[in-house]
């Protein structure tokens, strides 16, 4: 979550104004019980992978990530997908589902309802314990899918259509991955990808102890860990890799839905492996998942500069670096994964954790009710907001001498000058405080699922804590998987917190949040190692009946009397050269009439020798842009125009092409929704 826009001040008052200034043959299901050591030396797994469309409304919905009121969806660069992997170990009868979704974060309500729907379909096969939902952390997706007020402020409330697209899509991807379970093998590889990430808060990182920093060559985690999945018949099924970097190649003025660098890298790899058709039964599924990306930016040249001429090039550069290195690891993945799968999960009331001295500074501490600090409104370097970072209660005191530190913070929150206490809002907190913590193991790989954005050093400490408990159980690789299962801000180290840069100011539960996580995850990991059960913890709220949405739906669509929906308003040129951009504008309908899940709003087609037209691109490729805008035509304000832009690749085949738009319009007489389509004139590419 980035800066919150100051334009919400009239709504929320002066204080908040400060804050807001079917497929392969199915294999036998694993047995429900097995001895704890039954998997020692076993490399037999059941593996299933699937991908589903989760793209939300492509027009007039505030985007999730930067928190800018004015940043609303106006089209699609690249559709958003849920990539699901189900791995089962016949040796111990256990199963886990891992999802990497092209979302800014997986909010708690999403996890709750996905698990609820899985249970309705499959009974006790899946639960909170063995389902891990993670986000790629793209900042270019529509918002309004949380049940907590704080995350719906800039979208003016809850957006049911987007929430349903996300929940149904994630659920579908898991169900289809589970239905495709078949015998297979796993291999693990890791290596260091340099030059693809930078620390955006280096001064805060330097606050960490020198001896600790000396253990690491970089102030970001350059490690990419990759899990390669192959069927018993030799067919390549998919991969997951984890690499820590923000999906902020697209900035806070971008209006196009996109999976950003992670989504582009995933799509590139899938195309290379022959998986271009989304959701196809033989599709290769590649997930480029995130890790402890809290203070890590893809904009390696500083600020918002990723090395390209614009956001599209920045994202493409970052995507290529990740995709190329993943190809290297894929090719060299020689370590067979042996062992079973397992998981532990609990809920923790994060605002009331008593932290033992051993996990802190030698003294006992307690976490705090959720609050954000002044530096949050300044944003981070790749998402600048208002003011500057590093505002502590002391520096605020220096500027406004009439205030004391006690006036701007609480003892529990330490150096943080508080501008909004989400945790004390009534009747419900504005952000969740009962949060899910989870550890999943796949042979020697442990995934630490955190509902936060964790900074580089905080992630290192958390990994060390879990590794200390699991290394005797054969775990060699520990990966932070997040943000996952819910979301409640950042986690910085105690030392980074003291500086109060963006990440520290966004650490909701105070300076000892990381210590509380280390304590809780140490217990989870120990229980997993010992084969012991874990208490479920307090039950989080289900707020589905309490959400409010202020944004109206589509009333009706209109057009000029003498044109039809799908008619061309601005035609393509007769010919283009490779490297040019072909562009056509159509009279259209509002994209919220039908999200085209599993479909497309556009097609780039090439004429074949027999006169038929073949699709060569759609809005799930990132190769052409779908742009929607409201057209204020007489006598109503309900007209829409759709522009399709196709940047013609320099290696495009010479020939005849056309651009096609497909949509739906809503009648103002009976409210019915009707499909339409239109196409441009044929044009030549030289």
The closest alpha carbon to 49, from 207, 225, 247, 240, belongs to 240
Q: Cα 671 to chain center, whole Å? A: 34
| 329, two tokens | 């690891």
Q: Tell me how many degrees the CA angle 58-582-258 measures, rounded to the nearest 5.
A: 30
The response to whether 267 counts as a known ligand-binding position is no
The gap between the terminal CA atoms of the chain, to the nearest Å, is 45
In terms of phi and psi (left: phi > 0; alpha: psi -120 to 50; beta: otherwise), the region of 602 is beta
The whole-angstrom separation of Cα 680 and Cα 607 is 13
CB 528 within 8 A of CB 470: yes
Cα–Cα distance between 95 and 90 in angstroms, integer?
9
* 8 A C-beta contact, residue 225 and residue 477: yes
Tokens 């936060």 sit on residue: 452
E-strand stretches of 455-504: 477-481, 490-491
Under a CB-based contact definition with an 8 Å cutoff, are residues 534 and 522 in contact?
A: no
CA dihedral over 138, 142, 146, 152, signed as positive or negative: positive
CA atoms of 474 and 492, how far apart (whole Å): 29
Other residues' Cβ atoms within 10 Å of the Cβ of residue 351: 26
Q: How many residues does the chain have?
A: 686
Let me know: does 204 contact 254? Beta carbons within 8 Å.
no
Is 365 annotated in some ligand binding site?
A: no
Which residue's structure tokens are 């009962």?
A: 434
Q: What angle do CA 351, 200, 21 make, to 5 degrees?
A: 65
Contact 45, 87 (CB under 8 A): yes
The neighbouring-strand residues paired with 677 are: 662
In whole angstroms, what is the distance from residue 384 CA to residue 419 CA?
A: 18
Closest to 408 in 3D by CA, of 112, 13, 18? 18
Beta strands in 451-525 (DSSP E): 453-454, 477-481, 490-491
Q: And the tokens for 365?
A: 């501490």
- φ, ψ at 157 (rounded to 5°): 105, -170
Decide: 147 and 544 in contact? Cβ < 8 Å.
yes
Alpha-carbon distance 491 to 504, whole Å? Answer: 7
Binding residues for Zn(2+): 137, 246, 453, 490
Residue ranges at the known binding site: 137, 246, 453, 490
């Amino acid at each position: 979550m980035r800066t919150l826009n100051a334009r919400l001040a009239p709504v929320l008052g002066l204080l908040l104004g400060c804050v807001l200034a079917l497929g392969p043959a199915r294999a036998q299901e694993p047995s429900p019980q097995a001895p704890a050591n039954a998997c020692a030396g076993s490399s037999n797994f059941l593996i299933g992978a699937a991908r589903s469309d989760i793209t939300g409304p492509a027009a007039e919905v505030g985007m999730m990530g930067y928190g800018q009121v004015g940043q609303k969806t106006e089209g699609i660069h690249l559709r958003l997908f849920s990539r699901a992997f189900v791995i089962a170990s016949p040796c111990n009868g256990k199963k886990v589902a891992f999802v990497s979704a092209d979302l800014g974060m997986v909010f708690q309500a999403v996890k709750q309802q996905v698990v609820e729907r899985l249970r309705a379909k499959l009974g006790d096969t899946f639960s909170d314990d063995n389902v891990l939902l993670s986000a790629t952390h793209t900042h270019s997706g529509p918002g309004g899918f949380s049940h907590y007020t704080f995350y719906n402020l800039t979208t003016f409330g809850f957006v049911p259509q987007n929430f349903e697209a996300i929940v149904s899509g994630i659920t579908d991807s898991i169900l289809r991955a589970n239905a495709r379970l078949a015998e297979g093998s796993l291999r693990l590889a890791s290596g260091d990808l340099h030059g693809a990430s930078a620390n955006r808060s280096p001064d805060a990182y330097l606050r960490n102890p020198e001896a600790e920093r000396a253990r690491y060559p970089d102030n970001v985690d350059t490690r990419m860990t990759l899990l390669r999945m192959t069927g018993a018949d030799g067919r390549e099924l998919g991969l997951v890799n984890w690499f820590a970097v923000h999906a902020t190649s697209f900035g806070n003025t971008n209006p196009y839905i996109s999976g950003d660098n992670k989504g582009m890298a995933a799509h590139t790899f899938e195309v290379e492996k022959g998986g271009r058709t989304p959701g196809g039964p033989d599709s290769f599924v590649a997930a480029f998942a995130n890790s402890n990306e809290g203070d890590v930016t893809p904009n390696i040249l500083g600020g918002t500069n990723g090395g390209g001429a614009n956001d599209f090039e920045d994202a493409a550069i970052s995507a290529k670096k990740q995709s190329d290195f993943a190809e290297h690891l894929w090719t060299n993945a020689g370590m067979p994964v042996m062992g079973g799968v397992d998981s532990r999960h609990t809920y923790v009331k994060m605002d009331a954790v008593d932290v033992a001295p051993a996990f802190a500074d030698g003294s006992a501490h307690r976490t705090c009710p959720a609050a954000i600090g002044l530096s949050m409104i300044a944003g981070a370097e790749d998402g600048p907001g208002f003011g500057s970072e590093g505002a502590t209660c002391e520096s605020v005191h220096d500027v406004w001498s009439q205030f004391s530190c006690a006036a701007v913070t609480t003892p529990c929150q330490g150096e943080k000058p508080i501008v909004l206490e989400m945790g004390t809002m009534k009747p419900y907190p504005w952000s969740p405080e009962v949060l899910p913590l989870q550890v999943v193991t796949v042979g020697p790989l442990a995934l630490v699922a955190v509902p936060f954005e964790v900074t580089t050093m905080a992630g290192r400490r958390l990994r060390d804590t879990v590794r200390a408990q699991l290394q005797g159980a054969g775990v060699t690789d520990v990966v932070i998987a997040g943000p996952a299962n819910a979301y409640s801000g950042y986690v910085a180290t105690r030392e980074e917190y003291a500086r109060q840069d963006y990440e520290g100011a966004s650490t909701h539960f105070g300076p000892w949040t990381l210590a509380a996580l280390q304590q809780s995850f140490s217990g989870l990991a120990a229980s997993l190692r010992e084969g012991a059960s874990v208490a479920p913890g307090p039950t989080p709220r289900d707020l589905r009946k309490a959400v409010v949405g202020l944004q109206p739906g589509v009333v009706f669509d209109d057009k000029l009397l003498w044109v039809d929906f799908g008619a061309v308003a601005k035609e393509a040129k007769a010919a283009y050269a490779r490297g040019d951009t072909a562009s056509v504008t159509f009279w259209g309908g509002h994209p919220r009439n039908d999200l085209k899940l599993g479909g497309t709003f556009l097609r780039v087609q090439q004429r074949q020798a027999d006169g038929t037209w073949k699709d060569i691109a759609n809005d799930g490729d990132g190769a052409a842009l779908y742009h929607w805008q409201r057209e204020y035509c007489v006598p109503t304000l309900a007209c829409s125009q759709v522009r399709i832009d196709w940047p013609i690749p320099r290696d495009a085949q010479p020939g005849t092409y056309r651009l096609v738009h497909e949509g739906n319009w809503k009648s103002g007489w009976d409210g019915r929704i009707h499909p339409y389509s239109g196409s441009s004139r044929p044009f030549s590419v030289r």
